[in-house]
Structure 1
Amino acid sequence: MNDMSAAQKDILVADLKRVLADAEALLKATAGEGADELVHVRDRLQATLSHAKDGLIEAQAAVVDKAKAAAKATDGYVHENPWKAIGVAAGVGLLLGVVIGRR
């Protein structure tokens, strides 16, 4: 999962949220059914959904924490080395300009 881009991770999280919402809707729709097997499966699904939600919330919090730490580190570096940061930004801008100009 480390090879995934941020956009791919966002899409995955959105897809997982949709799956969880659909599964919850299925649970609500079958709540009136009385077969013992269905009740057992529904209870297992409810427990699995609860666990998946908790894991998704923890993963989302970890990603937010990492992003905040990276932003704080970048901010600190820029404040300590403003001219280097300006030089790097100018270099990246020049490189992007050359790449876009060739197309």
Structure 2
Amino acid sequence: MAMYPTGQHDSEASTAQLKEDLRHLSRTVEELVSATADDSRSNVKELRERAEKRLHETRARLEAQGEKLYLDARDSADLCDRYVHENPWTSIGVSAALGVVVGMLIGRR
């Protein structure tokens, strides 16, 4: 497993869950659209067409947003990795100071 900054793994899991939920929703709406395809009433036909259109629009927007979030997270991880490699002693100092603060907070309990 690759190393990620804190929270990035959770973000990827949330994104994967969102995509899976969208797939389930898409399948359900598609089944509904297929089931009502034989119904010739005009209002059902119009509703079915609107549902199809919204489903496709929503799917496209969510996929684009998911891809953007993934790319942004990957870029942030790359920047963090580059900074740590370019400034190792600063990174060690900040980590040590943060460790001391967290240790003091935990010790007070």
Asked if TM exceeds 0.5, the reply is yes
CA RMSD of aligned residues (A): 2.8
Q: Flag the 1:95–1:20 CA change in 2: closer, same or farther, 3 A.
A: farther
In structure 1, the partner of 2:54 is: 48
Between 49-58 and 86-95, the greater mean CA deviation after superposition: 86-95
**Matches of 1:58 and 1:83 in 2, distance apart?**
39
In structure 2, the partner of 1:83 is: 89
**Percent of counterpart pairs with the same letter?**
30
Aligned-pair CA distance for 1:101? 3.5
Is residue 2:101 matched to residue 1:95? Answer: yes
In structure 2, the partner of 1:3 is: none
Number of equivalenced pairs:
96
Structure 1 unaligned regions, length at least 5: 1-5
Larger RCO, structures 1/2 (Cα 8 Å, 6+ apart): 2
TM superposition score normalised by structure 2: 0.69
